[in-house]
Amino acid sequence: MNILLTGGAGFIGRWVARQLLGEGHHLWILDDLSNGRKENLHEFEGHPGLEEFIVGSILDEKLLEGLFNAHNFDICYHLGASINVQDSIDDPSTTFNNDTVGTFYILEQCRRHNTKVVFMSTCMVYDRCNEETGITELHPTKPASPYAGAKVAAENMVLSYYYAYGLPTVVIRPFNTYGPFQKTGGEGGVVAIFIKNELNGLDLNIYGDGTQTRDLLYVEDCARFVVSAGFSDKVNGEIVNAGLGKDISVNDLALLISGDPKRIKHVEHIHPQSEIQKLLCNSDKASRILSWKPEISLEVGIRRTREWIQSGGLA
Ligand SMILES: NC(=O)c1ccc[n+]([C@@H]2O[C@H](COP(=O)([O-])OP(=O)(O)OC[C@H]3O[C@@H](n4cnc5c(N)ncnc54)[C@H](O)[C@@H]3O)[C@@H](O)[C@H]2O)c1
């Protein structure tokens, strides 16, 4: 298949690229490198399936038009987005443009070329979880930050193209994802930052009281889920979650990674108003219609991430 992957030079995108290339598809990657890195794609240099890596923006309508006219994409995996909650609070315009307007431009091209759209949303659109059975796709959403608001708006547009035009589209909502190639600096994910600090003998800083929980999904499990959504007709017009199905408090995560309570510090939360107190995924729908299940436990995932960071990562 001819596949366009936006955000392919990012953390999750490079794993999605890896799987698609491994399955023998023809792949075009579009990324503006605002948060991605060319180095994330080094492994695939010279791969016969990697047709082109285009450094450019989903906001460039002319560029998109040229790409879609030239290559007749069967599927577009749309991962390109601004992903940082705090950045979205400080500068909502960038997040809204990339995550909502950019998605609209992608949809318009897909409509013209009848290209299937796999839209990468996020668990951050959900309201806090109150049940031990976890968050299903019917759980209420709450746009607690402009990041979540921009994703919900884009999700609605993606589903409207299914209803109004019969375009095959799907909204996927992976839970917090971690693993090798995630950035370990301030803009990275909590697992990567904690491991990096632990290895460097630094304190692990927790925002707020640390009782907030996360359902942490290993990145190769996430990529397998993302790819499978592109090849199933049953998911068209649907919203589908993916997570580990277990949540852990940030306090317990810090202890699991460091083992030394003295190294764990609590600092004032930077955006308490946009925090989601409990995130626990119910992936029954993904299991039912995609036969997808997570395979990597948190302990194994943390070990693999630590080994990658220890071996130098890309920092
Ligand atoms: N990391 C997570 O825990 C998580 C969980 C659920 C969903 N997601 C979603 O998965 C996707 C990938 O996230 P990630 O964690 O790999 O982040 P990332 O920042 O590493 O990847 C996003 C990529 O999109 C690119 N990008 C941003 N704006 C662009 C634009 N205008 N044009 C082209 N490319 C652009 C960035 O350069 C980056 O490479 C995002 O849509 C994110 O919302 C992430």
Domains of the chain, by residue range, sit at 2-178+217-243
State residue 186's pLDDT score.
Answer: 77
What is the residue whose two structure tokens read 């049953």? Answer: 234
**Centroid of ligand 1 to alpha carbon of 80 (angstroms):** 5
Q: Where are the alpha helices (DSSP H) in the chain?
A: 11-22, 61-71, 85-90, 92-95, 102-113, 146-165, 190-199, 219-230, 250-258, 284-290, 298-310
pLDDT of residue 63: 98
Catalytic status, residue 126? no
Q: If we measure between CA atoms, which residue out of 85, 126, 175 comes closest to residue 94? A: 85
Six-digit token pair at 240?
A: 């589908």
CB 61 within 8 A of CB 55: no
* Closest residue to atom 41 of ligand 1, CA basis: 79
Q: Which atom of ligand 1 is nearest to the CA of 35?
A: 37
Instruction: Tell me which DSSP letter residue 189 carries.
Output: -
Pick the catalytic residue from 126, 147, 178, 218.
Answer: 147
Give pLDDT, residue 296.
Answer: 98
Residue for token pair 């693999």 = 304
Give the pLDDT of residue 276. Answer: 94
Nearest protein CA to atom 7 of ligand 1, as residue: 122
Q: How far is the CA of 260 from the centre of ligand 1 (A)?
A: 32
Per-residue pLDDT of the chain (315 residues; tens, 9 = 90+): 999 999 999 999 999 999 999 999 999 999 999 999 999 999 999 999 999 999 999 999 999 999 999 999 999 999 999 999 999 999 999 999 999 999 999 999 999 999 999 999 999 999 999 989 999 999 999 999 999 999 999 999 999 999 999 999 999 999 999 999 999 987 789 999 999 999 999 999 999 999 999 999 999 999 999 999 999 999 999 999 999 999 999 999 999 999 899 999 999 999 999 999 999 999 999 999 999 999 999 999 999 999 999 998 875
Give the CATH H-level superfamily of domain 2-178+217-243: NAD(P)-binding Rossmann-like Domain (3.40.50.720)
**Candidate from 6, 67, 83 with most ligand 1 atoms within 8 A of CB, to mutate:** 83
- For ligand 1, atom 28, which residue shows the shortest CA distance? 81
Ligand 1 center–CA 259 separation, angstroms: 31
Q: Which of 32, 40, 35 is nearest to 16 (CA)?
A: 40
pLDDT for 315 equals: 53
Q: Say which amino acid occupies 191.
A: V
At 237 the pLDDT is 98
Residues with CB under 6 A from ligand 1: 6-7, 9-13, 30-36, 57-59, 79-83, 98, 102, 120, 122, 174, 176-177, 189
Gap from CA of 264 to ligand 1 centroid (Å): 29
